[in-house]
Chain A
Amino acid sequence: MSKKLQGNLNLNTIQLKKGELLTEVEELCGENLFGCYQCGTCSAGCPFVDEMDLSPDEVIRYIILDRKEVLNSKTIWLCSSCFTCAERCPRDINITKIMEALRQIILRKKIDRTNIKNITKDEKETIPQMAFVSLFRKNVG
């Protein structure tokens, strides 16, 4: 009975077998997720946490429990890679890298839904350019 997540990715397209999510993430980010004590420091310090459907510590918990639906979480795309979580984690886990690993799992399947044409004129004028740069960089790995 997991949380309702906001993404609408068809998880079958990812083709991860049982238990493979964790191995894949660990291979991509080089972090040992089992070192996490679930203390919540990363989540409390995250500047975007209010918008997230899963908080960063919950993302780690989902991976440990082999819940592939974590890939459908908005969190991994909201993460702006500011490294605050990584800086403060007492267990020295680089959560930012974990987020990147999750994004990579999707992107390497050539699933990219960024559609520049859909950005309205209004948005183009108000959103800082840096944000667009970050977004594109993030989405192409």
Chain B
Amino acid sequence: MPLKTYDKKKDHDLGIPLEDDYFYEEPEEIIENKDAPQLESTIQTVTQRAEKIKKRVINADVLVVGAGISGMQAALDTADKGYKVVIIDKTSTIGGAMVKLDKTFPTNDCSICTAAPKMVELSRHPNIELITYAGINNLQGKPGKFKAQIWRKSKYVDPDKCTGCDDCAEVCPVEIVNPFDEKLSTRKAIYIEFPQAVPIVYTIDYDACIGCGSCDRVCEPEAISFLEKSEEIEVNVGSVILATGFEVFEPTEMRKEYGYGKYDNVITALQFERLLSSFGPTEGKVKRLSDAKIPKSIGWIQCVGSRSEQLGFPYCSRVCCMYATKEASIAKEANPDIDITIYYMDIRAYGKDFQQYYDHAKDLGVKYIRGRPSSVYENKDKSLTIKYKDTLTGEIKEDTVEMLVLSTAIKPNEENKRLGEALGIEVDENGFFKQQELLTDPIQSTREGVFLAGCIQGPKDIPDSVSMASGAAAKAVAPIKDRERHIGKEFPPEKDVKGKKPRIGVYVCHCGKNVANYLDVEKVTEEAKKLPNVEHAEHIMFVCSEDSCKKIKEAIEGKKLNRIIVAACSPRTHGGLFQDTLMEAGLNKYLFEMANIRNHCSWVHSDDWDAATEKAIRLVRSSVAKARGLEALSEEEFSIYPATLIIGGGISGMKAALALADMGIKSIIVEKEKQLGGRLTNLHSMFPSDTKTEDILNPIINKIKKNKLITVMTDSELDKLEGYIGNYKGTIKQKGKTMEIEFGTIIVATGFREIDLKGKYEYGKNDNIISQTELETKIKANKLKEPKNVVMINCAGAMEEERPYCCRVGCGVAIKNAKLISQKYPKSKIYMLYRDMRVFGKEEEEYFAEVLKKHHVTMIRYPGDKKPGIILDKKDPKKGSVSVKVYDDILNEEMTLPADLLVLTVNTEGGAATEKLKNMLKVPVDAAGFFIETHAKIKPLDFSTSGVYMCGAAHYPKNLVDSIAQAEGAASRAAIPIAQEKMKGEGIVSEVNEALCRGCGLCESACAYSAIEMKPHPQDPSRMLAEVNRALCKGCGSCAAACLSSAIEQKGYKSDQINVMIAALCEKGKAK
């Protein structure tokens, strides 16, 4: 009984409108039930659909193409400033590649748990219109006046009616390979990509659907409509941000020697990631594909397709070393008996905390072997034998592993060429999008008004993508800055719950398998139901998903709930999301409580089902006890002073100021030196384009000087700071004079410096031993004499006990300087002693290979435990030539190299002002003196103290391109409060009971945020009284704890609220 006939027209995918996607000959309903009303309604539907054919036109401010982590960040950053955003994605959901990952390095944070709140925030944002399953076909116009043609493919499911119940997928007879699971599982022709998909609307895969109508028959809300047509939408915007991401190389044609596609148990790293994922095909259990056995040994081969000049891609994919390390550590932690080996060429642990993460993996027992395997063959038991040379011992070996993972290259999207043509922008020889100016304007595409974010112009990790996306948001605002802004979300008026009987709703989250696999969620729910005042309790797969939040709202309405408890993960990540849900339903957001049964039960007691369940029951019980006494709290509103203070006038600080000025925001740059420019002033040129630093600096400094919105204060430093976000007052010291300035937000761009080697490598004892910076200054001043033999030692003072981190920029700088010497003095022989060559990403790797080939730099790898030794000349230790003893790791022998120039690539640390700033700004700093961000992955530019942001090398050493992307990103972050003009403070603040306060001042000294001040009592001036500044108070509770007369209570955490929680926790439960 075929319902329809149609030709599968490829045009559908190409985005060319068809006459009709599905053509009914005789709709089933009409045959079965021929009475008139049915027919009429069908006609009505058809007429309605016909009306829809009229092209929809959306007027907005910014269009974002691609809704992965970069696109989402760019959209949120723009929308938070009050501009209207349209964001499209070619898949039926948002989240991109990040949601496919299990965890993220180097913090091992759950990937979906950090991405999902952003996805939900995006879909709920009043300024964002989300269009999924859509692509862009054409872009006309100029900045400020673009007209984009969007082609939205039909999902054949009405998004307003679909509840995401999964009934349709259950009956669908078609199974196809699931691209979301990297082809490891199948999915139906009607599907959602993954359980937390946003929007949670099913989609019919047009190419796979056989049109049987089964889904239509079972769909209770009647959401399925085969008449739903694909549509063309016209979007008028001022600027466009492109963030369409990347693809991963599949080694079927190239690199066949590793057996991918031929042997069952050879998989790609992204497939392994799906195996680890709790919502992957094996629900988080690593199993062999051939026989579902748990492998006893796993191997990883690095650089499959990357760093290849033959077949493949010449660039380094930047993330593989770390994701392989992450995957290996997770597998090893889950099963310590498993044998794990990673075959590598160089381990590129270049980022913040990466080296420590790599060292930790080695401590766990992950074996690292330097050698690129030559071939792989399969044994009878489906295990795999790898042939390789351990280049550090010189042995040719064969290893057998039960599973083999290939760390395949990140490659540009196949679609980039078409997209480039549609948007009128250029792609490079690899297929990545080109920047207008690689070094100084990395976010600008080759067309004005179109900006690039994330992996579309080269491989990148998540924090670098996120920083860049924020930067793109800053740039995209420039052409539309004067348009009307729309701030804030309208919430329904709050219901008054004062004096009303508590009616509590409890929601227990499975968190996929994260919670449900380790404790009995059903029992927790049942126990919660028995508690007094609990009117409703249920357990849900993902309480944070959009449809679950809808359920909570409905229950608040329907069951008249006035307190909500979510037993799931941490309120730090998810609390805000649920509070928004409460506000949408007309409840004060402080009538909410979270019980963290994931971190506190399923994670820490993963080996004890009963105890974990019992603890979860008690945590829920104590939350219920507290919830009974919860009260509605109000938040203080305060205004924002419209200017930003930028500390540091290096390239990052200057770029941030320019980005702010482009958005129409004033800034003040405070620079301690006589002139702007920072470290760049002393350097000669920047790689990979070998641009002279003056050619980079001069145009920027000129622009800054001309810009009326930027005030520059040189020879100055920030001496004192008071106030809080939006209302800062700073005292600036300039040449002995002091002056006061006002500003609303702060960007820290204080950069980095080389460490003091304290005489290591005989530094300071001989004139021929210098650092890379000194070398560049010499070259710049034309004072370098022709050296005969140059030796460079990388990692001086890095990756050792005292400073366990990698300096990220050293390898690149050393290579560039080797080139500079060789260009000037071609006869000089250059040796470079290194530990791992960390020239990561696109451009750097190619630059490195080019310099080796053209300038014949001899590379010598030395082991970390055998550092090179320096021998000074006996006759003339101060000025004579030196010799360097080095152990060659590859040939396993010691060599002695003569050197009349020895250059040390010195490790780096935070800038000189760090210590003072840390205390003034009340922000954290790590052991190396670099500032610590709120979240290593998704909030790399923010401090936990609101209103303060960071960029450039103050965060961690960075090359120019990454620093600029971060600077523009920090400008975007710092502009958000200013664009909003007003902000709200915390509801959870301290409150002084004036009758009890003795005026002793203990609380004032206990407060770390200077939020308490002692003032004379208004009625009785002889008595002192503590006063809380509600905007500054962070609700930490220190004052309440310090107060001897119990005169201070912290709202939301009052003594009686905490007492009932403790009582409920200790109460002997019935459940065993």
| A is bound by B | yes
Residues of A at the B interface (CB closer than 8 Å) are 1-2, 22, 32, 34-35, 37-45, 49-50, 55, 57-58, 61, 64-65, 84, 88-92
Partner of A40 from the list B303, B309, B391, B891 (CB cut-off 8 Å) is B391
16 contacts between A and B (CB under 8 A): A1-B893, A1-B894, A35-B309, A38-B859, A39-B372, A39-B391, A40-B370, A40-B374, A44-B396, A89-B310, A90-B308, A90-B372, A91-B308, A91-B309, A91-B310, A92-B308
Partner of B371 from the list A44, A50, A89 (CB cut-off 8 Å) is A44
- Residue among A37, A57, A58, A84 with the highest chain B CB neighbour number at 10 A: A37
Contact (Cβ within 8 A) B374 A88: yes
- Residues from chain B with Cβ under 8 Å of A2 in the complex: 891, 893
- Residues from chain B with Cβ under 8 Å of A89 in the complex: 310
CB-CB contacts below 8 Å: B728-755 with A:
none
CB proximity of A62 to chain B, nearest CB, Å:
8
List 5 A-B pairs, minimum CB-CB distance, nearest first.
Answer: A45-B374, A40-B389, A44-B374, A39-B372, A92-B310
Contact (Cβ within 8 A) B310 A90: yes
Contact (Cβ within 8 A) B391 A50: no
For A62, the closest partner residue in chain B by CB is: B891
Binary per-residue interface labels of chain B (314-355) against chain A in the complex, 1 for a CB within 8 Å, 0 otherwise: 000000000000000000000000000000011000000000
CB proximity of A127 to chain B, nearest CB, Å:
25
- Residue among A32, A58, A88 with the highest chain B CB neighbour number at 10 A: A88
Residues of B at the A interface (CB closer than 8 Å) are 257, 303, 307-310, 312, 345-346, 370-375, 387-391, 394, 396, 849, 852-853, 856-859, 861, 890-891, 893-894
CB within 8 Å for A40 and B893 given contacts A90-B310, A90-B312: no
CB proximity of B844 to chain A, nearest CB, Å:
14
CB proximity of B314 to chain A, nearest CB, Å:
10
Contact (Cβ within 8 A) A38 B890: yes
Contact (Cβ within 8 A) A40 B387: no
A42 to B387, CA, bound (A): 11
A33 to B391, CA, bound (A): 17
A-B CB pair tally, cutoff 8 Å: 88
For B310, the closest partner residue in chain A by CB is: A92
A22 to B257, CA, bound (A): 31
A1 to B891, CA, bound (A): 10
- Residues from chain A with Cβ under 8 Å of B374 in the complex: 40-45, 84, 88
Contact (Cβ within 8 A) B391 A57: yes
CB proximity of A73 to chain B, nearest CB, Å:
13
Contact (Cβ within 8 A) A90 B388: no
- Residues from chain A with Cβ under 8 Å of B389 in the complex: 40-41, 43-44, 55, 57
Contact (Cβ within 8 A) B890 A92: no
- Residues from chain A with Cβ under 8 Å of B858 in the complex: 64-65
Contact (Cβ within 8 A) A90 B371: no
A49 to B395, CA, bound (A): 10
A45 to B372, CA, bound (A): 10
A1 to B887, CA, bound (A): 11
- Residues from chain B with Cβ under 8 Å of A57 in the complex: 389, 391, 890
A66 to B371, CA, bound (A): 24
Contact (Cβ within 8 A) B388 A44: yes
A22 to B859, CA, bound (A): 15
A39 to B373, CA, bound (A): 8
A43 to B308, CA, bound (A): 17
CB proximity of B397 to chain A, nearest CB, Å:
8
- Residues from chain B with Cβ under 8 Å of A39 in the complex: 345, 371-372, 391
For A90, the closest partner residue in chain B by CB is: B308
- Residues from chain B with Cβ under 8 Å of A41 in the complex: 372-374, 389
Beyond A35-B852, A39-B372, A90-B307, 8 additional contacts (C-beta under 8 Å) are A38-B859, A44-B371, A44-B372, A44-B375, A44-B387, A58-B890, A90-B308, A91-B308
Contact (Cβ within 8 A) B890 A49: no
CB proximity of B324 to chain A, nearest CB, Å:
16
CB within 8 Å for A90 and B309 given contacts A40-B371, A40-B389: yes
Contact (Cβ within 8 A) B857 A34: yes
Contact (Cβ within 8 A) A50 B396: yes
- Residues from chain A with Cβ under 8 Å of B371 in the complex: 39-40, 44
For A58, the closest partner residue in chain B by CB is: B891
CB proximity of A83 to chain B, nearest CB, Å:
13
Partner of B394 from the list A50, A55, A88 (CB cut-off 8 Å) is A55
A43 to B312, CA, bound (A): 21
For A50, the closest partner residue in chain B by CB is: B396
CB within 8 Å for A55 and B396 given contacts A41-B372, A44-B373: yes
CB proximity of B551 to chain A, nearest CB, Å:
53
A61 to B859, CA, bound (A): 10
For A19, the closest partner residue in chain B by CB is: B829
Contact (Cβ within 8 A) B303 A35: no
Partner of A49 from the list B303, B312, B396 (CB cut-off 8 Å) is B396
- Residues from chain A with Cβ under 8 Å of B852 in the complex: 34-35
A90 to B257, CA, bound (A): 12
CB proximity of A92 to chain B, nearest CB, Å:
4
Partner of A37 from the list B257, B307, B387, B394 (CB cut-off 8 Å) is B307
For A42, the closest partner residue in chain B by CB is: B374
A35 to B852, CA, bound (A): 6
- Residues from chain B with Cβ under 8 Å of A43 in the complex: 374, 389, 396
- Residues from chain B with Cβ under 8 Å of A55 in the complex: 389, 394, 396
CB proximity of A45 to chain B, nearest CB, Å:
3
A91 to B310, CA, bound (A): 6
A61 to B892, CA, bound (A): 12
A88 to B849, CA, bound (A): 18
A39 to B344, CA, bound (A): 8
- Residues from chain B with Cβ under 8 Å of A44 in the complex: 371-375, 387-389, 396
CB proximity of B42 to chain A, nearest CB, Å:
62
CB proximity of B152 to chain A, nearest CB, Å:
42
- Residues from chain A with Cβ under 8 Å of B309 in the complex: 35, 90-92
CB within 8 Å for A45 and B387 given contacts A39-B371, A40-B372: yes
A57 to B370, CA, bound (A): 13
A49 to B396, CA, bound (A): 8
A42 to B307, CA, bound (A): 16
A32 to B312, CA, bound (A): 19
A42 to B394, CA, bound (A): 13
Contact (Cβ within 8 A) B891 A34: no
- Residues from chain A with Cβ under 8 Å of B312 in the complex: 90
- Residues from chain A with Cβ under 8 Å of B857 in the complex: 34
A34 to B371, CA, bound (A): 18
CB proximity of B907 to chain A, nearest CB, Å:
24
A2 to B375, CA, bound (A): 29
For A91, the closest partner residue in chain B by CB is: B309
A41 to B372, CA, bound (A): 5
For B893, the closest partner residue in chain A by CB is: A1
A90 to B311, CA, bound (A): 7
Partner of A34 from the list B310, B387, B856 (CB cut-off 8 Å) is B856
- Residue among A38, A41, A44 with the highest chain B CB neighbour number at 10 A: A44
A90 to B306, CA, bound (A): 9
CB proximity of B888 to chain A, nearest CB, Å:
8
CB within 8 Å for A37 and B396 given contacts A44-B374, A90-B308: no
A44 to B369, CA, bound (A): 13
CB proximity of B429 to chain A, nearest CB, Å:
16
CB proximity of B851 to chain A, nearest CB, Å:
9
Contact (Cβ within 8 A) A61 B891: yes
- Residues from chain A with Cβ under 8 Å of B387 in the complex: 44-45
For A86, the closest partner residue in chain B by CB is: B310
CB proximity of B430 to chain A, nearest CB, Å:
16
CB proximity of B343 to chain A, nearest CB, Å:
9
- Residues from chain B with Cβ under 8 Å of A90 in the complex: 303, 307-310, 312, 372
CB proximity of B399 to chain A, nearest CB, Å:
11
